[in-house]
Structure 1
Amino acid sequence: MKTPGVYVQEIAPVQPILGLPTAVTAFVGRTGHGPAGVAAPVDGQAAFEAAYGPADRAYPLTLAVADFFANGGEAAVIVRLPGDATTQASLDSALAALKQTPFNILYLSPDQIEGDVPVFARETAAAFVVEREAMMILEAPAAWATAKIDEMTVDALGYFSEPQLSRMACYVSRLLDESGPRPSGGAVAGIWARTDRKDGVWTAPAGIRADFASGVPQRFLTDGDNAALSARGLNALRSFPGHDAVIWGVRTLSWVSDTFRYVPARRLVDHIEDSVEGGLARAATQPPSPALFVTVQAQVSAFLTEIWKAGGLMGANAAESFYVVCDMSNNGPYIGQGVLRVDMGLAVQHPAEFVPVSVLVEVAAT
């Protein structure tokens, strides 16, 4: 019952922002058969084999995908390259096929079991993952199985900008099984996915819990080797008693960015940004207004509070862990343009040391 002369505006309840997937992995490379140049999602090894064939050493991608699912991966996207070797044209076509496909991790497979991903392919893909705000797992060069530690450098992988380096991770070395060497990148992506699911995307996918389902590292690495590799932004695959192969490092290739030198920090920020963008999409039917600002502020704060409570953001309280700004102070310039701006600060490494992140969402124009 309404009181005469009093008009009440009903405010819709705050809708929660849901975390989006973090470990959908796009695999690009050769297979024995299957559709070429098409981004096809697969949700398990059986589905992959039905479309592309069983694991076959003639096609390293098939081994990488098998290792992905064996080590905890659940969602993959496959883009088969035609022909016997990766070319610039075939890679460009594959990446174009991925442009409208959601994924979080990119992996390029060598054409041959003891071959390398071409430098031009690494460099092209590095630009692509920056555009898509994704990560790329690089397969270590085959020569690193016997190379001196001092010869293992980021420069040997290609020429990359700092934004690209912060979205790339490389693991030394490949794996070895009873048939010989095999790629390690697919297994690493599976361990990332497994760690995300069990402990959160902010958890380091490394250490004893980051062990492989099968295989051993192709070469033995000492503590000194590990320290030298880490200083260069490279991660070691190591073996210990009771653990045939484990990931022993969480570095990106970046050496400039203090924040994004580490895989978990880079991936957590991406996850938050993606989830906030997706969660605010429903605001698109409303023009900017004080009421909308309050609703959005509450939505984003609630989402970040849950991540903080789970241990993803650092701080003894929410104020030390994040901040959210969505009001006229940052939205004034966008009024009438159909854009909503949300500014966040995320304490991904230390309390009250905020990584600034801005999200722009299209909304109804006033």
Structure 2
Amino acid sequence: MVNYQAPGVYVQEVPSGARSIGQVSTSIAGFIGVSPDATAYPDEVRVLDNWTQFVDQYVGKATQGTPLSNAVFGFFTNGGSRCYVVNIGTGGSLTGTAAKPTGVTLFEAIDDISIVAAPGYSDADAYSALQAHVEHPLRQDRMAILDTPEKVDDVGSLTRAATSGLPGGDKPGGDAGEGKSGDKTDGKSDGAAGEESLGAPQSPGGYTALYFPWIVMTDPVSGKKVTQPPSGHLAGVWARVDATRGVHKAPANEPIQGALDLVRRVSRGEQEVLNPAGVNCIRYFPGEGIRVWGARTKAPEASEYRYVNVRRLTNMIKESVADGTRWVVFEPNDHTLWKSIRRDIGAFLTNVWRDGALLGTTPQQAFFVKCDEETNPPEVRDAGQVVTLIGIAPVKPAEFVVFKLMQSADNTQTENAGA
């Protein structure tokens, strides 16, 4: 307490106690693959803010790009602003070993990353490595964009998960019209004719999203047309939608900048097979061009996280609340603390609701925050815990737009506004 000596009026600034919770970034990507110069910074994480930096560090004297370089180019072309890159070198692993970690293992310590992709790696082992990374209980703050194999004769094979140890896709690489470098596989599991299982496994929490088919683009390194897995371009589309509309907007019905054509023109009938299985299609529409025409995760059909934007919005809220309430640790666990928690989280979610991310005409309809004696009984407090229950009502995309038309025998009459 200040010791006042002379009579008079004294004005003090008193902190309000409110602590603002800011939204974390949702558009920083992490890419794994082989760079044009396969010896450049192997098994090392590098952060990039533009395509020129990638060229300076990873292209060198190479005359042909790779799926990694094309993905990074597509990311920045479509609106991405920052990414992390790991060059695993020729024949490298997506995970590495305990003695020599690489790939997704190097991303574990980077909290900024919210999107992960390994362009062109589309077999069961790659799917497993990426899914294990994003679903780890200590993370669950990011999503993985998965690629399908380039050549798929039967789209139904993408609805069934590939099995580890069996062929499940082609290796990354190749020019358009010339096939791809690497081993060619057919996805057969018992010698029977046709492909059987080329898809990604289900993600119960919706932490992965699968896109089909590959795109055709101009390799910025060689200047030639090449076929390219779409994950890097899709990461850029996600980042662009985040910046222009918000993470709550489904990253679909969006153009893919730099995509000249598709390896396969998906029909409506084929998408009717793929969409319920969580395979997002990229389609061509006359007059509109190439567009992302799906917004589902690999969560089960009945899951509340079956839409990409719902999963990513939830991730953003979780991470933002965790970062913005770190001051709570070691505070006295009493009514004053509970009130402060309700106030800060409530203010944050109100802003999220105002951005259009939560459903409801009032904040009370859009969310609730409960932190009181009921959520924190004596046994919880004795364990050193403070428990807050948060409920949100995220908006979901209008995936199926239905118009019901009928004929009327009566003439339609329009009343004048001033009548």
Partners in 1 of 2:355 and 2:329 — Cα distance?
A: 29
SS in 1 for 2:91: coil
TM-score (structure 1 length as normaliser): 0.84
Say if 1:236 and 1:249, in contact at 8 Å, map to a contact too: yes
TM-score (structure 2 length as normaliser): 0.74
- Selected match of 1:21 from 3, 22, 25: 25
Which residue in the other structure is 1:180 paired with? 226
- Selected match of 1:307 from 352, 373, 384: 352
Q: 1:40 to 1:275 in 2, by over 3 A?
A: same
Partners in 1 of 2:63 and 2:356 — Cα distance?
A: 41
Q: How does 1:254-265 map to 2 (within 5 A)?
A: 254-265=299-310
Q: CA RMSD in A?
A: 2.4
Partners in 1 of 2:300 and 2:158 — Cα distance?
A: 15
- Selected match of 2:393 from 318, 331, 347: 347
Partners in 1 of 2:43 and 2:360 — Cα distance?
A: 46
Say if 1:56 and 1:63, in contact at 8 Å, map to a contact too: no
Structure with max Cα Rg:
2
Cα drift, residue 343 of structure 1: 1.4
Which residue in the other structure is 1:363 paired with? none
Say if 1:254 and 1:261, in contact at 8 Å, map to a contact too: yes
Which residue in the other structure is 2:106 paired with? 97
Higher normalized helix content (fraction of residues):
1
Structure 2 residues not aligned, in runs of 5+: 3-13, 162-196, 219-224, 397-419
- Selected match of 2:85 from 57, 78, 83: 78
Output one character per residue of 1:297-348: Cα deviation in whole Å (capped at 9) or x when no partner: 0110111111111110011211111111112221234324443322111111
SS in 2 for 1:261: coil
Q: 1:170 to 1:154 in 2, by over 3 A?
A: farther
Say if 2:209 and 2:296, in contact at 8 Å, map to a contact too: yes
Amino acid at match of 2:148: A
Partners in 1 of 2:117 and 2:198 — Cα distance?
A: 14
Which residue in the other structure is 1:163 paired with? 204
Amino acid at match of 2:123: P
Say if 2:94 and 2:102, in contact at 8 Å, map to a contact too: no
User: 2:325 aligned with 1:273, yes or no?
Assistant: no
Q: How does 1:1-366 map to 2 (within 5 A)?
A: 12-31=16-35, 32=37, 33-53=39-59, 57-86=64-93, 89=96, 93-102=102-111, 103-110=113-120, 116-131=121-136, 132-133=139-140, 134-144=142-152, 147-155=153-161, 156-157=197-198, 160=201, 162-163=203-204, 166-177=206-217, 179-207=225-253, 209-332=254-377, 333-349=379-395
Say if 1:287 and 1:338, in contact at 8 Å, map to a contact too: no
Partners in 1 of 2:135 and 2:386 — Cα distance?
A: 23
Cα drift, residue 48 of structure 1: 1.9
Say if 1:39 and 1:101, in contact at 8 Å, map to a contact too: no
Cα drift, residue 119 of structure 1: 1.8
Q: 1:180 to 1:298 in 2, by over 3 A?
A: same
Partners in 1 of 2:94 and 2:349 — Cα distance?
A: 43
Q: 1:205 to 1:48 in 2, by over 3 A?
A: same
Say if 1:72 and 1:193, in contact at 8 Å, map to a contact too: yes
Partners in 1 of 2:80 and 2:276 — Cα distance?
A: 29
Say if 2:95 and 2:104, in contact at 8 Å, map to a contact too: no
Say if 1:57 and 1:63, in contact at 8 Å, map to a contact too: no
Partners in 2 of 1:311 and 1:56 — Cα distance?
A: 46
Cα drift, residue 83 of structure 1: 3.1
Which residue in the other structure is 2:183 paired with? none
SS in 2 for 1:77: strand
Partners in 2 of 1:168 and 1:339 — Cα distance?
A: 32
Q: In percent, how many aligned pairs have the same letter? A: 26
SS in 2 for 1:181: strand
In the alignment of these two chains, the number of paired residues is 334
